[in-house]
A and B are shown apart, each in its own frame.
Chain A
Amino acid sequence: MFLRVLFCFCLFNCVFFTHAQTCCSGGIPLSNNIGLAPLEKGTLQVGIHYDYNNLNTLNFGTEKLDDNSRLRVTHSVLLNANYDITSRLSIEGLFTWVNQRRKITQFDNENLEQSSGIGDAVLLLKYNFSNTFGQNSSLNIGAGTKIPLGSTTEKNSQGITLNADLQPGSNVWDLVLWTLMSKNFNFRPSFGVWSQITYRSTGTNKEYLENSTYKFGNEFQAYLGFSDQFLMFNALTNPGISFKYRHAEKDMISGFDLDNTGGNWISVIPDFSIYIKPNIIFSTQFEIPLYSNVDGIQLTPTYRLTTGLLFRILPKKNIINLN
């Protein structure tokens, strides 16, 4: 029974905390793709995910404008790895490759600008407090940094440097704070409630367009999620649903707030995952905005899709076989 609960817990965390969201509405999904839950000492988890973020909704504040001529798409490939140094301490890295597209369809023309390349990365050190909220509960905290691996000098076909929003990188180190709380219940051990909070304090790019500075707005994200577990096609599956609140402050350019950036968003994220092998989980999730309140006029997320695989390599003696 204990193993089953542990297994459920691990699955639950793996499924929910490997998925992507964006640092800015259209940027590289870093902030909520971090936070693989720790397992036992010596465990290595490797996730490979694809994230598709579609922004085709033009908002003025909360008002949705009748204009779908602008399309902002971010394709991301996300590779993250987590190693449990001890039963409480773990380290996680997230590496990205990104293709960012901005397409305007107006006046019978389509105009596409895009950039591709390695994006920024995140390194996170985490500590686990088990049973903080009673039996089968967990509190994890972590701190880390975003590492500016991505290019910020990508140019368009005319040789003009693309603006900050379309660059794979940001050229700054950010501070990332993370916490994850979860609780499973005795009345149904497979059912769990979890909450995650991520805060990103952004740095300032002092070489933006050579002689300007640019700072993406600080970002706060909070999740509340529910998950359960069922047997389907002789495989363990985890359907779930979560709600996300995201707040982003305005970007700053040369020390001044930049209008038409930042805002508040609430979205719902149904998800589904399945064990295709005892140590391989396939997952997919779909994010649908419920509420968008942007500063000024902005493209705001229309939908987002994330799917991928998570591999867990347990210390040999501890491999659990449920088949």
Chain B
Amino acid sequence: MKKILILYSIVLIFSCSNGGDGKNDNANTPQPEPEVWLIDKNKVLDGGPGKDGIPSIDNPKFVEAQSQVYINDNDLVVGVKYNNEVKAYPHDILNWHEIVNDAFNDQSLTINYCPLTGTAFGWQSMSNGEPSTFGVSGLLYLANLILYDRNTDSNWSQMLLQCVNGDLMGDFPTTVNVIETNWLTWKNLYPNTKVLSRDTGFYNDSHYNNYPYGPYLTVDDFFIFQVFPLNSTLPFKQRVYAIINNTAKVYQFSDFEGGNAIVDSFNGKNYLVVGNENVINAFELTNDFSNLNFEYCFNDTEVFFKDNEGNNWSIFGNAISGPREGQNLITPKSVVSFWFAIAAFYPDPEIYSN
């Protein structure tokens, strides 16, 4: 009897030991110097869900703008026009997945969005010169998403736009300009846009009606992960547009009420910043374009601004018509962000003032 019990106990314990897991099972990827980081390691936090615990969407499906029924006009989307395709990624879906590994006419692009800092970027799905998808590492730096590439398992800081840990430490992604605005603005700009479907393969439709972080958006001083330094010049969760050029310059949507096009200087470069209360984008004014006078003219078409030569320009800085048709303005690194985040990553940012 005793022997049976002892045997039973041993079998039971081993049967529960979960298949002899090793210390770290990232078996498919090489192990770089794991503890070396380009950033202050003490400010990198375990977000809780774990690596890939927030699953990226790797096989996105899209629906036509007219057929989608879930997005309200005021809901925010990330809009991308790339390689002759136009797509919108609703925040409601990005809140739960953060990364979409997508393709625009066979050109791979990784759209990434951090719900805690309100920042979205698009970059080419490449690492180490080879195609790669990206996933959610489960780590955060200054409350901001750290992605990892599935080629080398290196970690990439979203807002720094740099690989900060792993074999590719120090590398930079090749970014693509993305727009963050509300659905009404985006569909007026691009009525034929495709929209990321809620048929993600992970959750049912209604799941995406829920916001995963409680009062995070509405309670200004509620932080799930503390951020230092905290700059209180503006409300922490105020959405601002920022140009990033070593440091950052911030533009408030309130300065663009009703539409505005301004020329501004920052860190030795001239920029055209154009937008309204819902959307802002900026362009470097290189010599070819420095003599033009720009004017906001958005009237619910793709034309967003025009110039004194008679050119009509899109929100992405493409000359849609006019003598310069086909030419493109250069877009700097820029992002829409919660104020606290841009001020933490780029301390003491300059704030544009009329």
Q: Are A256 and B222 in contact (CB under 8 A)?
A: yes
Q: Are B25 and A112 in contact (CB under 8 A)?
A: yes
Q: For residue A289, give the distance in angstroms from its CB to the closest CB of chain B.
A: 17
Of the four ranges (under 10, 10 to 19, 20 to 34, 35 or more), the interface on chain A belongs to: 35 or more
Q: For residue B26, give the distance in angstroms from its CB to the closest CB of chain A.
A: 6
Query: A95 CA to B25 CA in the complex, in Å?
Result: 30
Q: Are B1 and A159 in contact (CB under 8 A)?
A: no
Chain B facing A: main interface SS? loop
B25 partner, pick from A52, A110, A211, A257, beta carbons under 8 A = A110
Of the four ranges (under 10, 10 to 19, 20 to 34, 35 or more), the interface on chain B belongs to: 35 or more
Q: Is B48 an interface residue (CB 8 A)?
A: yes
Known: A67-B202, A113-B50, A260-B212. A157 touches B23 (CB 8 A): yes
Query: A162 CA to B9 CA in the complex, in Å?
Result: 32
Q: Interface-forming stretch among B10-18, B257-265, B296-304, B337-345?
A: B10-18
CB nearest neighbor in B for A52: B16
Q: Are A276 and B41 in contact (CB under 8 A)?
A: no
A50 partner, pick from B13, B18, B41, B225, beta carbons under 8 A = B13
Known: A157-B23, A157-B24, A258-B224. A111 touches B50 (CB 8 A): yes
Q: Mark A2-27, 1 if CB is under 8 A from B, else 0.
A: 00000000000000000000000000
Known: A73-B18, A259-B213. A158 touches B34 (CB 8 A): yes
Q: Are A163 and B46 in contact (CB under 8 A)?
A: yes
User: Which residues in A have their C-beta under 8 angstroms from that of B53?
Assistant: 70, 102, 104
Query: A179 CA to B225 CA in the complex, in Å?
Result: 37
Q: Is B268 an interface residue (CB 8 A)?
A: no
**Residue of A67, A166, A259 with most chain B CB atoms under a 10 A cut-off:** A259
Give the residues from 193 to 235 in chain A that come closer than 8 angstroms, CB to CB, to chain B: 209-212, 233-235
Q: Are A257 and B214 in contact (CB under 8 A)?
A: yes
Q: Mark B205-237, 1 if CB is under 8 A from A, else 0.
A: 001001011110001001111101000000000
User: Which residues in A have their C-beta under 8 angstroms from that of B223?
Assistant: 254
Q: For residue A47, give the distance in angstroms from its CB to the closest CB of chain B.
A: 14
CB nearest neighbor in A for B28: A109
Q: For residue B25, give the distance in angstroms from its CB to the closest CB of chain A.
A: 4
CB nearest neighbor in A for B227: A211
Known: A101-B21, A109-B26, A159-B35. A297 touches B212 (CB 8 A): yes
Query: A257 CA to B53 CA in the complex, in Å?
Result: 22
CB nearest neighbor in A for B165: A158
Q: Are A111 and B52 in contact (CB under 8 A)?
A: yes
Q: Is A131 an interface residue (CB 8 A)?
A: no
Q: Are A163 and B45 in contact (CB under 8 A)?
A: yes
Query: A103 CA to B156 CA in the complex, in Å?
Result: 21
Known: A103-B25, A159-B34, A233-B1. A166 touches B46 (CB 8 A): yes
Q: Are B5 and A274 in contact (CB under 8 A)?
A: yes
User: Which residues in A have their C-beta under 8 angstroms from that of B215?
Assistant: 256-257
Q: Mark B residues whose CB is within 8 Å of A.
A: 1-2, 5, 9, 12-13, 16-18, 21-29, 34-35, 37, 41-42, 44-53, 55-56, 58, 133, 135, 138-139, 150, 155, 165, 202-203, 207, 210, 212-215, 219, 222-226, 228
Given contacts A113-B50, A163-B46, 10 further A-B contacts (CB under 8 A): A70-B50, A106-B52, A107-B52, A107-B135, A156-B46, A158-B44, A158-B155, A160-B139, A211-B228, A256-B215
9 chain-A/chain-B pairs, Cβ below 8 angstroms: A67-B202, A70-B50, A103-B25, A110-B25, A111-B138, A114-B23, A157-B23, A159-B35, A162-B46
